[in-house]
Chain A
Amino acid sequence: MHNVKYKFPAGVAAAALLALGVAACSGSSDSGSSSNLSGNIRIDGSSTVAPLTEAIAEGFQSENPDVKVTVGTSGTGGGFEKFCAGETDANDASSAIDGEQKKLCKEGGVEWEEIQIANDALSIVVNPDNPVKCLTVDQLSSIWEDGSGLSNWNEIKGLSPSYDAELTLFGPGTDSGTFEYFTEAVNGEEGNQRKNYNNVGEDDNQTVTGVSGAPGGMGYFGYSFLVENEGTVRGLEIDNGDGCVAPSEKTVQDGSYTPLARPLFIYPSAKALNDKAFDQFMRYYLDNVNDVASSIGFIGLTDAQLSENKKKLDSLISG
């Protein structure tokens, strides 16, 4: 009674194999060419920077349809791991390459260059009901440093006005460039941060939800999340010795929002810079980045930063 039926799996397998074959064939036949540039560009790295690189890639591809640009989001550290193994052409980074990553690239024989593409204000956010407007860097550090036992806002030294609410902390995972930058800038050492906080991983929207739901909530993330959630959470002003400064496009660009204004980078490999399509992509990036940046929540480069990085790119490409 099974004689007819048993043949069917073979048919399914054949159909699947056929589909595989068709797929493989359609892949090998690259068609059409309206621009003289072609090639593949692989970029990975920070999920903070990715939207900017994606927007640039989108614009670039509409002008050069034969250049296939892909952008991944393995995080700054995860991206460098691939970049330093020669597996990607460039790495998005929300914090500058560190010693360990430099060593990794040296071992992998990958020469890297650093191009700044935008600015970001790492923003400290609290619940809108919180009366506190400003914290000093020392106060911030006393809350977040490794071993800190603070559990209520009224335990923070020199806080004004005083506020009695349980301190509920939200922060990104330890793989994130945002974590690296914050811990170094506030606690003086990369990775130095108390362990008992709510780790939201790569999903900063969880910080928004968490902070808006807890009267004594506090968290930190990139400026774009503050802009999009103004009213749900409130950005704190930061006092680094020269008075309270709020995170904003202006304070970041004039250099007064310290120490949490941070540069965002892309790290192209020297090998990729030998490729004409990639060079054009990098030029396109710097030519258009400021137009795109503010519309998707990034803080653009200042004129000085822009011309400096353009000059750097020029010398890298010609040299």
Chain B
Amino acid sequence: MASLSGQPGSGRVRFATDGARAVTAEMLSEQPRRDLVKGTIFFALLLLALTVALVGLAAIIIQAAVNGAPAISPTLFTNGPSTINPSEAGFRPALIGTIYLILGVIVLVVPLGVGAAVYLEEYGDREKWWNRTIELNVQNLAGVPSIIYGILGLAFIVRGPLDLGFILAAGSLTLALLVLPTVILAAREAIRAVPPSIREGSLALGATQWQTIRRQVLPAAIPGVVTGVILAISRAIGETAPLLLVGAATFVTFNPTFLGDNGYSALPVLIFNYASRPQDEFRVLASAGVVVMLVVLLAMNSFAIWLRNRYEQQW
């Protein structure tokens, strides 16, 4: 009975097993050695790429820490700049300037970036040429050199239409424009990664599109958005050229404010200035400044990463 009923089936089964055996044999015979070598080389290349990136980072950190070691002390965080007495010099006004700048950037860039991303992903009709134009331009803007944003900031924010003057808020606005494309792109990816089934389920239950976005899509997209913000502030914190254009000064001894029109400073500007001085003491200070900046950046990013992990979820 088994043989009878299995006759036509066993033919197919034999055909299938023969095929599978042939494929397996082929994979196990000659191919594997070559593939194994290829696989190993590829893996080694990946490791190499990772190593280059990490070694580069480590080199920067170690070099800054070693060169800056003589100047590293708590007074770096509490004292102002000094040309007469570099051993007592610190970065306090520049540090506060940088923190305000970045806070300003975050406050501006999160709503704008997420808003733009929600429009492009949830509302914008890709069939329409203007939406495609916006998309293309956002991607292009992400690659525009920062000095261009500096010129833009000087012409439109500091002077021109907005006419804010050389105030810290103008610096924040300029940096926000600079990193906005990064945040938009990251937020779009995050929104796109939310499974359509979530949206459909929400809509099927009677929620409006806005309710769906607000209650389902955006909360789920938080980790991705936060990643974008991390990238954005990491870039913004180190920018020097646009800040020089929009009025960041090197020598500021008092704590800056957002709207005070008596000037402000920022860490990268002061570091850049110190690094190009002839005296060794200032170059040591510049290295110490790099350490200060890294501390600030890592503190900000750790908070962001903590936030991201809190909201991370599996579907």
Contact = CB atoms under 8 A, between A and B. Distances in A.
A73 B250 contact: yes
A13 B115 CA distance: 14
A23 B278 contact: no
Contacts, number: 133
Contacts of A16: 103, 106-107
Interface in A65-90: 68-74, 78, 82, 85, 87
Contacts of A47: 273, 276
B177 to A, nearest CB: 18
Nearest to B80: A58
A72 B272 CA distance: 12
Given A16-B107, A228-B278, A3 B215 contact: yes
A28 B249 CA distance: 20
A26 B255 CA distance: 10
Interface stretch (A49-57, A133-141, A234-242, A254-262): A49-57
B283 interface: yes
A50 B250 CA distance: 9
Contacts of B259: 24, 27
A187 B103 CA distance: 49
A203 interface: yes
Contact of B254 (A2, A58, A68): A68
A51 B253 contact: no
Contact of A50 (B261, B262, B273): B273
Interface in A1-23: 2-3, 5-6, 8-9, 12-13, 16-17, 19-20, 23
Interface in B274-310: 275-280, 283, 307
Contact of B215 (A2, A8, A55, A227): A2
A61 B81 CA distance: 12
A174 interface: no
Given A2-B220, A71-B250, A292 B107 contact: no
A233 B278 CA distance: 13
B181 interface: no
Contacts of A78: 244
Contacts of B244: 72-74, 78
- Among A47, A59, A292, residue most surrounded by chain B Cβ atoms (within 10 Å): A47
B263 A68 contact: yes
Nearest to B257: A27
B84 A59 contact: yes
- Among A13, A16, A23, A44, residue most surrounded by chain B Cβ atoms (within 10 Å): A23
A73 B263 CA distance: 13
Interface string A172-207: 000000000000000000000000000000111100
Given A16-B106, A19-B103, A205-B283, A71 B249 contact: yes
Given A2-B215, A87-B166, A292-B84, A70 B262 contact: yes
Contacts of A203: 275-276
Given A3-B215, A54-B250, A70-B262, A24 B257 contact: yes
B100 interface: yes
A58 B222 contact: no
B81 A54 contact: yes
A20 B107 contact: yes
A23 B100 contact: yes
B250 A42 contact: no
A6 B219 contact: yes
Interface residues of A, number: 55
A203 B276 CA distance: 5
Contact of B279 (A87, A222, A297): A297
A101 interface: no
A20 to B, nearest CB: 6
A125 to B, nearest CB: 12
B258 interface: yes
B299 to A, nearest CB: 15
Contact of A42 (B219, B257, B263, B276): B263
B176 to A, nearest CB: 13
Given A9-B222, A20-B104, A228-B279, A61 B263 contact: no
Contact of A23 (B248, B257, B277, B279): B257
Contact of B251 (A23, A71, A224, A292): A71
Nearest to A5: B219
Contacts of A24: 257-259
A229 interface: yes
Contacts of A50: 250-251, 273
- Among A6, A47, A87, residue most surrounded by chain B Cβ atoms (within 10 Å): A6
B278 A5 contact: no
B273 to A, nearest CB: 6
A297 B110 CA distance: 47
A224 B110 CA distance: 46
B232 interface: no
B137 interface: no
A112 interface: no
A33 interface: no
Given A12-B307, A40-B261, 11 more contacts: A23-B100, A23-B258, A42-B262, A54-B250, A69-B253, A70-B249, A70-B251, A70-B252, A72-B250, A297-B278, A297-B279
A-B interface, 10 closest residue pairs, ranked by CB to CB distance from nearest: A27-B257, A70-B263, A71-B251, A2-B219, A40-B262, A72-B249, A228-B278, A6-B219, A70-B249, A55-B83
14 contacts: A2-B215, A2-B216, A17-B107, A23-B258, A27-B258, A70-B262, A72-B248, A72-B249, A78-B244, A87-B247, A203-B275, A205-B276, A227-B278, A297-B278
